[in-house]
Homo-oligomer: A and B are copies of this chain.
Amino acid sequence: MRPLRTRNLIAAALVCALAFTATMAHAADTLPSWNDGAVKQSIVNFVAKVTKAGSPDFVPESQRIATFDNDGTLWAEQPMYFQVVFALDRVKALAPQHPEWQTTEPFASLLKGDLKAALAGGERSIVEIVMATHAGMTTQEFEQIVTGWVATARHPKTKRLYTEMVYQPMLELLAYLRANGFKTFIVSGGGVDFMRVFSERVYGIPPEQVVGSTGKVKFELRDGKPVLVKLPEIQLVDDKDGKPIGIHQYIGRRPIAAFGNSDGDLQMLQWTAAGSGPRFMGLIRHTDADREWAYDRQSSIGRLDKALDEGQAKGWTVVDMKRDWKIIFPPEKK
């Protein structure tokens, strides 16, 4: 054993004391943007229960898997999914290289500024737009494009960067769970190559913990240098049934906690609920037309209908944004 002198002892003690103080400060500030009430209490109780060694509800760290939807759960999704805005911006940027788009739908309407006509074809139009803007380039090229967009594009209503349209209470929840030994994952219908560009910086969730809709890629050697080319073919639509499938294939372990906000999250919540031992199923309800948006059963984006019925019937935690959240978005940096 290396001899330690008193001076070293004191220094080591100070380091430990500082670490200890930081932990105490964190505990006192748990979920500061959440109003006190049944919802906050249900989260804190669940975490206390599964982390208490020796208790019958104790869950070992390795099994503390928490999954989060992204659109409408971690960041906003109105007036349309942010990734769709990205795709539309890309169509405009790429138009000079595609003269044929001037006369082909849905691109023609889109370039004339008629979004409604462009999206009249429903899901097929969106798929066409996404394929035209998310494929035919290497994964590295796509990453650079998204990086540039995320750094500059601004939300039409708030004029903030899209990555600032994240929910402050959810950022605190992610950090709180991680501080309690949870591993946090995104499980979203959004494109995985899109989300991974900013997930670590914005949410503290590294790329390898992001599950999302996935396109096929092809390996190629170009001048002896390997690249992966994004193909216009879907591998996984990580929505509805696709969420438990994605969880199984990519994580390989059932979450003990899951959070969503729409019917697209129902199967993920059912899958989470069906495991044994303590479980937490959370639904974020958009109830705040002043500070965010208010929508649920009738919305074409983020419809919350069946999942709300099932959640209420089964006693899942329903977060009411207006009632439960002190603030919605992080304060603007001066």
Residues of A within 8 A of B (CB): 1-2, 4, 8-10, 12-13, 15-17, 20-21, 24, 62, 65, 139, 183, 185, 192-193, 196, 200, 206-210, 214, 217-219, 221, 225-226, 228, 235, 241, 244-245, 248-253, 267, 270-271, 274
Contact = CB atoms under 8 A, between A and B. Distances in A.
B206 A62 contact: yes
Contact of A17 (B9, B65, B244): B9
A267 B208 CA distance: 20
A69 to B, nearest CB: 16
Contact of A12 (B13, B183, B221, B253): B13
Contact of A10 (B13, B217, B241, B252): B13
B244 A274 contact: no
A225 B254 CA distance: 14
A contact face: mostly helix, strand, loop, or mixed: helix
Contact of A253 (B183, B206, B225): B206
A191 B64 CA distance: 24
Contacts of A241: 218-219
A217 B245 contact: yes
Contacts of A252: 192-193, 196, 207-208, 210
Contacts of A219: 241, 244-245, 267, 271
Nearest to A192: B252
A12 B1 contact: no
Contacts of A235: 235, 249
B226 A244 contact: yes
Which 9 residue pairs spanning A and B have beta carbons closest together?
Answer: A207-B252, A12-B16, A13-B13, A219-B241, A9-B13, A196-B252, A12-B13, A208-B251, A226-B270
Contacts of A207: 251-253
